[in-house]
Structure 1
């Protein structure tokens, strides 16, 4: 049985199933181990990790009478919270069809990767950021997001280890734009949010590549080095002419958390700007849904569920809820189970409810076999099927999930 407990309740002999927080936010890249050494416990207590999941069937339990939450209880709370966000009345634009925008978005992604790579290389050599070029690039990304947010966001998520830093910047830019629009910011504010997203990780150019792409646990010194990147990026941007003040703010503070456990300043709630709170959500979402050398990315829908669990301490609730509305409770690319027993990949969001996206069913859990792929619009009046839960792709090991949704839209199905 899994229980969520405070790190202060940890004792040697407990089996840590999972840390409650993104792996990019702490040095413990692995989970699923028995806590055996006092030094391991001290290391956990010294980080921003506040809660963990323990498996009491594999290790020491909490003392009788200790308040803790089971996995089922937490998931029920989270699902209830996310379900309340299903209404789409805050959406301001009717998006163009994903199949129409995906080709344009793919071209913009390719050009953006080259542009950001070149910009970061220039910064690495000590040259000033091309602020004019940044604004132009953000405008291109923003236009695509306005037409259909899922196209750019989903494509930018499909990144390799070699281009992660660059495409992460593109993805966070796109996420910041769509989130800013959901929050009702004006055009100038939306553009500033996009610029901030594109430049938020500039400090990574001064990080050793061996540390950034290390396929194992970081040492304390390496983790401290990584934590220096917001300040490094801020200092670099301060030396560039005409940099948007919002970009400076987000670059320095996108790792702050509302409970004060973030870095570099340990700011709390009202001390953190709206833009930095937005940057925190967008940065974590793209990081945990992307494959890294040391960890496979989580499914988009599962990532949102986990973020909802962490939200009270990590993220501003209003900002996080707006983010869910902007990407969908079941974002494009999510693996879901339908009431009919079919497994499906989410293809496109509905204009009616976040609970009824357009999906592509491809597997029957009843017959335990693949079926001829078929598109199902869960929002259609005559559709009697519905999503009953998220599914973990790691448990099913389908090798072609990304190709499945991409093939659908590229093929104009």
Structure 2
């Protein structure tokens, strides 16, 4: 290893940042390791924010010390002793505000506005994304991205209340399901004709729509929100069809802003959507700078062009590969390309929905096992004669069995033949 590789800084204390740090240590890196995090909390798991945290499942026992977990066992990524064993210098409550790639220094700002400059031999950008907020100052209108967001929403969950969820993505769908679990009246508003249009084929989206309706959610499709009404607090949501929906609470899942503004002018290439342009090894255009997680945009040979994933598993897997390639670069060894099979899951109404590969765009869909009517199936998704995705509902073993078909190019006919023989 080069003698200069003794200072690695990871900017971002989420899943991607933690996995990168763990992988560096696991692969033999013994040098200085600093993790900068904007939140005051140690790294935690985000998927439970829209589920267990809102419903109260996974709370620490009475009398326990919740500490940074805010009482939620479900959020714990690692035991505290495991995190301590990484031997990282955590700089929490601090935001990256600039990067000098010539001097190899990252500038961070503390909660009181104080600034410091951290030198590095290798830098990992893992600052992720923040929720896009509705344009209103009314109380009771929330987003859900962080632990603090989830605590704020949970504090207003009321079994007699009326929740309006704006946006039919996975977060919005999970919030709706959690609210129904505690007895709230729920209206889900989605501007597209089916929910999850950016994630799965409409044929699958229609099944998920009916799943919500069967569980008492008023699903409004093809309409958008034009305003929020009330005194100091939200009372109604105004829709583009001229109707209004009563609301005591609103949770908006309307997309994200990538936390990459601090990289502008640094020499790290940013694409039009604000994502960080990486090569297949997670390296950016600046020497010694790598990017992982939600903001990383890289070429994938099996899915055509460049991709960017906001998935839990991607954050973990990309962090591990980036760590390996940082150390390979330092040792003068060949790097490893990052070519994963994307994987995502969601739990709604005690049913697990899973997606392998890419769900959209797709011009072919086939339910190869089970049936949408039974709310239990495996569906293949294809594009241009090739298998591109596998979606499962309540079918975990069978869904995961087909991961192998996405690990290499598989034609639509080959995929259907494999399903027929299983």
Q: Into which bin does the TM-score normalised by the smaller protein fall? A: under 0.3
From the two aligned structures, give the one with the greater strand fraction. Answer: 2
From the two aligned structures, give the one with the greater helix fraction. Answer: 1
Structure showing greater radius of gyration is: 2
